[in-house]
Amino acid sequence: MSTEPFKNVRLLPQTNQLLGLYTIIRDKNTTRPNFIFYADRIIRLLVEEGLNYLPVEPCVVETDTNEKFEGCSFLGKICGVSIVRAGESMEQGLRDCCRSVRIGKILIQRDEETAQPKLFFEKLPTDIANRYVFLLDPMLATGGSAIMATDVLIKRGVKPERIFFLNLICSKEGVDRYHAAFPDVTIVTGAIDEGLDENRYLKPGLGDFGDRYYCL
């Protein structure tokens, strides 16, 4: 699928392998252990892709054959921020790629009185303004929570162009709404779904990601 109409969306290459992984996690008959295993594989791909956008500097090392190798090394510090609860499923994938990475958390829930998303809790690295941030949430549906979470990051001094929002599936309207608020944040995703159903679940989607990963 082309991301032509979407600026700042990096869609993973739509290979047969990736399609196969999505077919398994979207299948309602997939067991929880398999859902976790294959979702984790996609998460790993998203993290690896996100790392491609971090700045590097040239670096020369000497190999064991006493030859020079002209490579590069990463510049700048990163951290992860998961949107609780579903986003926490992506933390291990980030740790698997970036040892000892700092990971903050943001909890947003629906306010029962106003029915609007409400920020309940944030715990972020104190120096987050100096870091590149991988914002973690597997499903971008209406964009409400992601927008609120990104707002928290920006109020803490993170520059939008240093934020990479990693998700497994997003909706077109979620992307549009999110990018209307934050055009300079890069969305890294593996699938863009057509829309939302009457319960604001992604279509075709996969149901409730948090329930499938943690509960059932």
Question: Residues with catalytic annotation?
Answer: 110, 114, 208, 211
Identity of the amino acid at 144: G
Please answer whether residues 123 and 105 qualify as being in contact, where contact means their C-beta atoms are separated by less than 8 angstroms.
Answer: yes
208 contributes a contact to ligand URA by CB under 6 A: yes
Within positions 17 to 76, which residues make up the interface with ligand URA, using CB under 6 A? none
Q: Using CB under 6 A, pick the residue from 79, 158, 175, 202 that binds ligand URA.
A: 202
Q: Using CB under 6 A, pick the residue from 6, 37, 74, 201 that binds ligand URA.
A: 201
| Sequential DSSP letters for 72-126 | EEE-SEEEEEEEETGGGGGHHHHHHHSTT-EEEEEEEEE-TTT-SEEEEEEE--T
Nearest alpha-carbon partner for 87 in 197, 206, 168: 168
Within positions 118 to 147, which residues make up the interface with ligand URA, using CB under 6 A? 139, 141
Identity of the amino acid at 158: V
- For the CB of residue 211, give the shortest distance to ligand URA in the complex, in Å: 7
- For the CB of residue 168, give the shortest distance to ligand URA in the complex, in Å: 10
Which chain residues interact with ligand URA by CB under 6 A? 86, 139, 141, 201-202, 205, 208-210
